[in-house]
Amino acid sequence: MARACRVPRPAALLPLRVAAVALVLSFTSLASAESAWKDIWNSGSVAKQLSVEGDLQTRALIGQREQSATAAVRAANGKLRLDYRAGRRKWSLIDDGSKLIRLSPERRMAFAFPRPSLATDSALAQRNYVARAVGEAEVAGRPVKIVEVSRPHGPIAWRVWLDREYGFALKRERYNVDGRLVSGTEYTTIRFGVPVSSDVFEIPKDWKLVDENGGGRRYRVSDLSKQVGFEVATPRYLPQGYVLQGGYVERRGRHGRVAAELRYTDGLRLLSISQRMKGEGDDDRRGGSRHRGGRGEGRGGERGAGERGGRRGRGGGERGGGRERGGGRDGWGFGPPQGEAMTVIDRGSEKALRYFSKERVIVIVGDLPRDELVRVATSLD
Amino acid sequence: MSRELSNLVDLVARARAGDAGAFEALFGSLQAGIYSFIRGQVREAELAADLTQQTFVRAWESLPRLRQEGAFVGWLHRIASNLVRDEVKSGHARLEVAASDVLGDPPGVDLAPGPEEQVASQGLRTAVWEALDGLPAEQRSAVIMHHMEGMSVTEIAQAMNCRPGTVMSRLARAREALRRKLSSYVEDSDAGM
Amino acid sequence: MPECDRIRKQLSYYAVGGVRGGAHARVERHLASCAACRAELTALERTGAIVTSVGPVPAPPGTWEAIRDQILDRPRQAVPRPARRFWRVAIGVAALLIFALAVAFVRPFRAPQPPIAVAVELEADDTDTPATIESHLSAQWSAPLADEAAVGLRLSELGGS
């Protein structure tokens, strides 16, 4: 049977071609995305294994000012030491694997903080962000591969220059959620595999060590409530992609008031929500922190107090009754109470907001748009 | 050791409304009495201090439930008594007290500092506490509340959850016993005035 | 004297103010004429004064601080006010009904958002925010893709070195 063979005309083939090319491209980019992510995760683990000696320059945008410093770096066995220098200021930071220790040479004192180790949830990060290799370059005399990470359809969040041989990050740029470059670090010299003696990561014997912070133990919210002695409020609103990473006990201020800290993550960025019950000096505040340059009356701040008493008694606290009926909130009850302006402090790589609810003092820190921060804060009420 | 009732009522009302400064003032004027009251009942200084602390914390937490400000002192003592009773029940404390235990306070407590007259009154203090030691617990508590804390019979009755007549008879019987035990001081014309 | 014995038994009650009415008058009458009983009463009164003069033992130092730390960290129990509770509930129910009607028939409008100001400096009396920023940064140190050198720079700027 003779049937005219319908030879598809080139024009009709076009959609098919485009589809084919798109398919191929998407596979490639998928592959490249996968390898980009692999490089990223690898750079983190490699940094803990390599022994490294080098110098870097770092700069950070803090508020409106840019701070910069140089640092001599030594790393080995998962420990890291940075000896900073900025103008005439000198200080050092040691990560000994379990704590962060800040050394102050003029005072011959060392301050230790907990350094909570966040289990890397790569699946979460990969759900919320996209990574792609964007090119090649040279840093500190070594060839590198450049990888960019961003939220899908969002501005760039990180750019990292990874050493081709070791995968180690030789240069980094961090952008905040508004797309602004907020920190950058670049190695100027680096040597791998050099022996680093372990006493480099130790505090000089005759220095005073101040270790006031808690152990950084992670709790579930219900257990955290028991630890802090009040019911820990959780936000009803969370920015997209964020999940709870854990709860921590913190001590605040001169009198060591206990506060509960909740940490959320979207895989790469962090959101910290800290709360404590209002106390003396807090009662008369409503809404957000005051503007600088004073609108509203000034108030004596939290008064300093004497030493902490030794004993802790028993007894629980309950929540006071009554919800505040706020006008000015949006239809779903979020947003600041009517007439109250909220002041958000922009520190560059994060923003901070202090909010006084009916019974709590709440501080939110995160790299979020301003109104998201406000929504999270007010959803804790 | 008189307390202006109106001032107390005002402080209690403010503390109940959340004024921690007012509560601190209340603590200031009542702490020694409560501590002595508790020390009159439990053996260890540290335990008494701990119970004193718990008494005030619990009082702060429950203040909203107190309707009559004037009843504060008696109410505070009841809180203290309940806490002592709980400690005794749980076997953490015994009710006998030794005068030396009361006066052998941890360093920092001002018992009798300074000039020579104080040495004499140190002896008196010891004698009084030893005499109290010999009293039955309820009489001892009543005496501490009345004489050392300056509480009225009504307040003591509220604190001990009994009738004023009962308070009277406890005070009276204690007074008789103490008069005999402290006779050397009582007969001395310079005693304690 | 038998009357003295009787009166003596009441003297301690009399001394603490526990004798009233007729009995009180009887004691007074006896005291007016009996030096021995008067002396005994004086002794009883002195006893009371001695005990009063010794005074209470103060609580050890640090007691207030321990109390204050606890009362400031904990809110107290809410006290339901029975009298008002009914009205609160009634108003709440009414409000709910009105809201439900409003939602059903009227589009809820978005009230204008108050302005969100941005500042760059921490307030002087604010110890909470710097503490939270510090622990946020410490956690950031361990986060994937963290630029430790820059985080360290921020930490030092926050705390002062």
The predicted structure's pLDDT at residue A20: 72
The predicted structure's pLDDT at residue A129: 93
The predicted structure's pLDDT at residue A326: 32
The shortest CB-CB distance from C71 to any of B20, B173, B193 is to: B20
Best probe of the C interface among B56, B100, B117, B181, by most C CBs < 10 A, is B56
In this prediction, residues C71-76 reach a mean pLDDT of 66
Burial grade of A135 (CB within 10 A; 0-12, 13-18, 19 or more): exposed
The predicted structure's pLDDT at residue B1: 29
- Cβ within 8 Å, pair B179-C61: no
Interval B123-166: pLDDT, tens: 788 888 888 888 888 999 999 999 988 888 888 898 888 999 99
- Spatial distance between the Cα atoms of C65 and A304, rounded to a whole number of angstroms: 12
- Spatial distance between the Cα atoms of A264 and A241, rounded to a whole number of angstroms: 10
Q: What is the number of other CB atoms lying within 10 angstroms of the CB of residue B3?
A: 16
Euclidean distance between the first and the last CA atom of chain B, given in angstroms as a whole number: 14
- Spatial distance between the Cα atoms of A151 and A376, rounded to a whole number of angstroms: 20
A130: phi > 0 → left, psi -120 to 50 → alpha, else beta; which? beta
Cβ neighbours of A339 in C, within 8 Å: 114
- Cβ within 8 Å, pair C57-B105: yes
* The dihedral sign for the CA sequence C70, B10, A302, A354: positive
C54 or B55, higher pLDDT: B55
Task: Give the closest-approach CA distance of C23 to chain B in angstroms.
Answer: 15
- Spatial distance between the Cα atoms of B97 and B133, rounded to a whole number of angstroms: 6
Interface predicted TM-score of the whole assembly (ipTM), two decimals? 0.79
Return the C-alpha torsion angle C97, C102, C103, C109, nearest 10: -140
The predicted structure's pLDDT at residue C103: 61
Interval A221-278: pLDDT, tens: 888 898 898 999 999 889 989 988 889 988 776 566 889 999 999 999 999 999 998 8
- Spatial distance between the Cα atoms of A17 and A26, rounded to a whole number of angstroms: 14
The shortest CB-CB distance from C50 to any of B53, B173, B186 is to: B186
The predicted structure's pLDDT at residue B93: 55
In this prediction, residues B28-57 reach a mean pLDDT of 88
Q: At what angle do helices C35-54 and C2-15 cross, to 10 degrees?
A: 20
Pairing of strands A342-346, C116-119: parallel
* The dihedral sign for the CA sequence B115, B118, B119, B120: positive
Chains that touch C (3 or more CB pairs under 8 A): A, B
Q: Which residues pair with A209 in a beta bridge?
A: A110
Interval A154-166: pLDDT, tens: 889 999 999 999 9
Q: What is the number of other CB atoms lying within 10 angstroms of the CB of residue C99?
A: 11
Q: At what angle do helices B72-89 and B5-16 cross, to 10 degrees?
A: 70
CB contact at 8 A, A68 and A81: no
How many Cα atoms occupy the beta-carbon half-sphere of A358 within 13 Å? 12
C108: phi > 0 → left, psi -120 to 50 → alpha, else beta; which? beta
Task: Give the closest-approach CA distance of B20 to chain A in angstroms.
Answer: 7
Of A259, A237, A241, the C-alpha closest to A250 is: A259
Q: Which residues pair with A366 in a beta bridge?
A: A271, A351
CB contact at 8 A, A143 and A164: yes
How many Cα atoms occupy the beta-carbon half-sphere of A226 within 13 Å? 4
Task: Give the closest-approach CA distance of B18 to chain A in angstroms.
Answer: 9
Interval A73-91: pLDDT, tens: 999 988 999 999 998 889 9
- Cβ within 8 Å, pair C13-B169: yes
Of A351, A80, A28, the C-alpha closest to C136 is: A351
Task: Give the closest-approach CA distance of A279 to chain C in angstroms.
Answer: 5
Radius of gyration of chain A (CA): 26
Question: What does the angle CA A81 – CA A85 – CA A90 come to, to the nearest 5 degrees?
Answer: 85
In this prediction, residues A56-65 reach a mean pLDDT of 90
Q: Is B86 helix (H, G, I), strand (E, B) or coil?
A: helix
Pairing of strands A208-210, A109-114: parallel
CB contact at 8 A, B187 and C39: no
B61 vs A: CB within 8 A: yes
Instruction: Give the chain C residue nearest A339 (alpha carbons).
Output: C114
One DSSP character per residue, A3-64 reads ----PPPHHHHHHHHHHHHHHHHHHHHHHHHHHHHHHHHHHHHHHHH--EEEEEEEEEEETT
Cβ neighbours of A280 in B, within 8 Å: 20-21
The predicted structure's pLDDT at residue A55: 96
Pairing of strands A99-104, A181-192: unpaired
Q: How many residues make up chain A in this entry?
A: 381
Whole-structure pTM value: 0.52
- Spatial distance between the Cα atoms of A354 and A1, rounded to a whole number of angstroms: 83
CB contact at 8 A, A165 and A142: yes
The predicted structure's pLDDT at residue A328: 35
Pairing of strands A243-252, A89-95: unpaired
Of A165, A159, A166, the C-alpha closest to A186 is: A159
Q: What is the mean pLDDT of chain B?
A: 78
A66 or A33, higher pLDDT: A66
A24 or A229, higher pLDDT: A229
Chains that touch A (3 or more CB pairs under 8 A): B, C
Q: What is the mean pLDDT of chain A?
A: 78
CB contact at 8 A, B174 and B135: yes
Interval A275-291: pLDDT, tens: 998 877 665 444 444 33
Of A102, A106, A100, the C-alpha closest to A92 is: A102
Chain-centre distance for alpha carbon A242: 12
Cβ neighbours of B20 in A, within 8 Å: 279-280
Interval B82-119: pLDDT, tens: 999 888 777 655 544 444 444 443 333 333 333 334 44
- Cβ within 8 Å, pair A317-C74: yes
Percent of chain C with pLDDT over 70: 71
In this prediction, residues B14-41 reach a mean pLDDT of 89
- Spatial distance between the Cα atoms of A363 and A276, rounded to a whole number of angstroms: 9
Euclidean distance between the first and the last CA atom of chain C, given in angstroms as a whole number: 89
Task: Give the closest-approach CA distance of C58 to chain A in angstroms.
Answer: 16
Phi and psi for C102 in degrees, rounded to 5?
A: -60, -45
